[in-house]
Structure 1
Amino acid sequence: MPADVETEATIGSSSAIAAADSASSSSDAVPGSQPKVEDLAAVDGKLKTAQKHKEEGNAFYSQGKVVEALKEWHLTLLYAAGINSLSPNSGAKSSEEQNTQAKQICLSVYNNLCAAYIKQERWQKAVYAATKVLSLCPEKEPNLKALYRRAMAYYHLNENINAAKDLDLALDKAPQDPGLRALAANIAKADEEGRVKAQEKMRGFLNKQNS
């Protein structure tokens, strides 16, 4: 399973992440409240701008310009993440269709961020971004790329138990995927090597005690 970016969206910096966290914790539209026409038009403008920055980020990433891509993806998230928020006085500011589109952008944004962090070998950040993707998915329909990428990041952090949990879920959905199977084999090999080293260390300790 390749660590390529999503074509639907992407992201960038800590301020964008904070904005997305705030947006994802916002409640749904107040029952009976309807967005005003001018609010809907404003949200459409934000979505179009987010789409523009997303496409520019994807273009940079395809050229190997990760830093430039992250800057564009940062802007993407800043425009998309605030959608689906509520005003205490006037209620909903966006339609359900717009909310769905914004959520999909944010989901893809985090997946792309995870791919970029893997390329940069920033494993903790990759775990965080993949976790955000999975939090936006239905529990019974996890995102396979996010599971694979988080498992890879856990593997490089020597957190093989967590990596194996993600791989189990992913392999249930795609048991023949070569990328998933290769990563599972690497984790199994690392576990075996770890057990051998632990046994050798224990034998050395016991020999020292008996000498």
Structure 2
Amino acid sequence: MTVDKEVAASVAAAAADAAAAASAPPPPAPASSSNDADSTTKAAQPSRIDSQLATALRLKEEGNALYAKGDIPGAKRCWHHANLNSSGVTSMRQQLGLGEEGKDDEETKKRAGEITAAVMNNLSSCYLAEKNYDKVLYSTSKVIAIDPQNVKAQFRRASALFELRRVTEAAQAIDVAMEKSPTDPAIRALATKIVKWTEEKEREGMKGLKGLMRGKGWGGEEAKNEDEDEKGKGKKKDGENSNGNGDKGKGKEKA
């Protein structure tokens, strides 16, 4: 009888423990499982950026190949899309919540910048040939923002500015190109053209200023009178020389 009571009590206790375990909330997930998920997500994000850069590089090379074949519109289309991919890397990083991460981040920016500078420089060459000077200025500004000493961009920018007769800005751009490549024939030719144009305009400006000073106002009446006085003196001198010569002739006749 005593044994039966002990067994019954043991069974009842086990049942109570089972019921308590069933009603208890599940244990919280280990903290490491959340960290692992975050690590997996972050690992996937850079791969998207690498993929975008790879696409930009592929489009750049396709554009180069089309340009070599003479397909300028096709080349420009490829370069344009390459730029959209390479220049969009920064905005993608922001969307993915990736901040500054040291060396890896700098390397990504460098790769993206190199592609952007290359394709925008190529586009500027096409735009210059098309005499689309506003687009030359736009595309070269993108290159110079990445590489201020880029000789091709500065030369093309100077060419466009000169054609738009923004000569002071053109001179500034060609100065940068001359410093980096002083013996380049095209750069030297453009620099010479800018200097000659400037000197000619300065001469024209001086002529215009003199003409203005001879007109009424600006002391022009005085300048006009001075000119007339000079002319009168010249005529008088010529008359004196003529008379002197005549007297000499008469003297000879008398002799």
**Both structures adopt the same fold (TM-score exceeding 0.5):** yes
Q: 2:150 matched to 1:143?
A: yes
User: 2:177 — aligned with what?
Assistant: 170
Three-state SS of the structure 2 residue aligned to 1:84 is helix
More deviation, 84-93/44-53: 84-93
> Which of 80, 83, 92 is 1:77 aligned to?
83
> Which of 46, 53, 59 is 2:52 aligned to?
46
Aligned-residue offset at 1:177:
2.0
User: 1:156 — aligned with what?
Assistant: 163
Distance 1:105 1:88, change over 3 A: closer
For 2:203 and 2:67, the matched residues in 1 are separated by: 41
User: 1:118 — aligned with what?
Assistant: 128
Higher helix share: 2
Q: Structure 1 unaligned runs (5+)? A: 1-32
Distance 1:37 1:186, change over 3 A: same
Aligned-residue offset at 1:59:
2.0
Three-state SS of the structure 1 residue aligned to 2:183 is coil
Q: Structure 2 unaligned runs (5+)? A: 1-38, 225-255
> Which of 198, 203, 206 is 2:205 aligned to?
198
More deviation, 61-70/81-90: 81-90
Aligned-residue offset at 1:93:
9.8
> Do the aligned partners of 2:167 and 2:194 also contact (CA within 8 Å) in 1?
yes
| Greater relative contact order, per chain length (Cα 8 Å cut-off, separation 6+) | 1
> Do the aligned partners of 1:57 and 1:71 also contact (CA within 8 Å) in 2?
yes
Aligned-residue offset at 1:155:
1.0
User: 1:27 — aligned with what?
Assistant: none
Aligned-residue offset at 1:44:
2.1
> Which of 193, 197, 205 is 1:186 aligned to?
193
Whose radius of gyration is greater, 1 or 2?
A: 2
User: 2:21 — aligned with what?
Assistant: none
User: 2:138 — aligned with what?
Assistant: 128
- Aligned residue pairs total 176
TM-score (norm 1): 0.71
Cα deviation, 1:69-119, whole Å, max 9, x if unaligned, reads 111111111221111333467324994233221111111122112111101
For 1:91 and 1:41, the matched residues in 2 are separated by: 13
For 2:129 and 2:55, the matched residues in 1 are separated by: 26
More deviation, 194-203/178-187: 194-203
Distance 1:89 1:148, change over 3 A: closer
AA at the equivalent of 1:118: L
Cα deviation, 1:163-182, whole Å, max 9, x if unaligned, reads 11112222222222222111
Identity over aligned residues, as a percent?
33
For 1:146 and 1:105, the matched residues in 2 are separated by: 14
For 1:93 and 1:54, the matched residues in 2 are separated by: 27
Cα deviation, 1:46-89, whole Å, max 9, x if unaligned, reads 22221221112112222333222111111111221111333467
For 1:68 and 1:75, the matched residues in 2 are separated by: 11
User: 1:108 — aligned with what?
Assistant: 118
> Do the aligned partners of 2:159 and 2:190 also contact (CA within 8 Å) in 1?
yes
Three-state SS of the structure 1 residue aligned to 2:120 is helix
Cα deviation, 1:131-187, whole Å, max 9, x if unaligned, reads 2211112x5xx1111111111111111111111111222222222222211111111
TM-score (norm 2): 0.60
